[in-house]
Amino acid sequence: MSLSPDQWVERLLGPIAEALSSVVFYTVSIAGTDVPLIVMWTAVAALFFTVYLRLINLRALGLAIRHAKGDFSDPNARGEISHFKAVATAISGTVGVGNIGGVAVAISLGGPGAAFWLFIAGLLSMSTKLVECTLGVKYRRYNADGSVSGGPMFYMEAYFRERGWPLVGKGFGAFYAIALVIGCLGIGNMFQSNQAFAQVLVITGGEASFFADRGWLFGVALAGVIAAVIIGGIRSIARVAAVLVPVMALLYLLSALLVLGLSAEHIPAALALVTSEAFTGQAASGGILGAMVIGFQRALFSNEAGIGSASIAHAAVKTEAPASEGITALLEPFIDTVVICSLSSLVILTTAIPQGLMGSGLAGIELTSAAFAWHFAWAPYVIAVAALLFAFSSALAWSYYGLKGWTYLVGEGPLRSVFFQLVFCAFIALGCMLELRAVLDFSDAMTFLIALPNILMLYLFAPMVRREVNQYLADIKSS
């Protein structure tokens, strides 16, 4: 009996993906709760940088908003895109289906207390994002065609080169770039197109949908639209993201606020439940520690603080002050996790739980959609459209991240770039046709594996970043 292409890939890659995932997501038992070490690694870093930079996530939030508005823009600065477009592009890469469905999963596993720790983790991870995006700009490379390239592979290489170990730096950079290229084809590509296709089926009739057995058609169409955007590089991606991100965020936020308004009588009880279960150890999985771990895991997996990918987009900003973009990057986890994920949490807590939807067999995005539908029969269509836009925008940003990893390995050049972009779009189409669980597991593991060397570099660069930030804040104050 011959194997289908997806069965062949699953059989070949499945054992490798399982082995890698068991290493990357290795857990240790603490007080009866399994804690993934990668979550501890990223969470401790977020706490450290928040303390080390003296609550920069709160002190500089207002300044970050002013940067995004363009108050300190320098039209003569080197770079390709504005502060607003840089943060919009980075947000497009992190705001995804997980902001809708992943929050429901977190509350189902960790209880209402997980929502509190998700909020706290979002605040803390803002500091991590500042450090990596400051470094992304400081060590970016200016190309002959006027474009720029930046990200962890460049600041990893620079750190060791400055200390006389250039080959070690090249090794670190190459490892990061290879993992990034592999990761982008899964987490930022096939998963996104697969989820987008699933949502289209939801709003077009499910099994009776015209697209039910025509995943290839939707995949090719989606790949074509994405190709039309990404071939133009970061300027084209940023231009689309600058429009798409505010629209999709407002669509979801206004819908969530409307649902909360209709469930207003449950808000006080929901907030009391969140705070009590966050500290009293009554969470559904593992008590207080379980709620904390699951909340942090959902937040850090959502905003990707510590992975370093967002610094690639931020590196393209027009500025001569690296710390200016690091401060602007504070907005990314704030919008992604503190605002959007928190609103998703409240929708679950004020509708799904009081109305008995929690534990009814629904999970993930289906549970969130049911909570919206409790008030409006047409709400699932809004959720489906939001999820489709989230998936599309994520693919745009991750195509750029993968491209910069690719060109770091093979060199800059239009033909090399177009080759990668065509491969990326081919995987977009494949994501709608094949359910390659092993590919997604492998790419997820590779994506989070790079948090290990990236956060190590953030610690090593911490004193320099603090000087950069303090000097920039002093310059802003004096001017």
What's the confidence (pLDDT) of residue 284? 47
Residues facing residue 34 across a β-bridge: 29
CATH number of the domain located at residue range(s) 25-478 in this protein = 1.20.1740
Domain spans in the chain, listed from the N-terminal domain onward: 25-478
Give the pLDDT mean for 48-57: 95
Binned at pLDDT 50, 70 and 90, residue 410 comes out as very high
Whole-model pTM: value is 0.89
Binned at pLDDT 50, 70 and 90, residue 133 comes out as very high
Residue the block writes with tokens 């940067």: 67
Among 18-27, 43-52, 275-284, 373-382, the minimum mean pLDDT is found in: 275-284
Average pLDDT, the chain: 84
What's the confidence (pLDDT) of residue 348? 86
Q: In 3D, which of 57, 135, 33, 85 has the Cα closest to residue 338?
A: 57
Whether 319 shows a pLDDT value over 80: the answer reads: yes
Most confident of 270-284, 301-315, 374-388: 301-315
Binned at pLDDT 50, 70 and 90, residue 155 comes out as very high
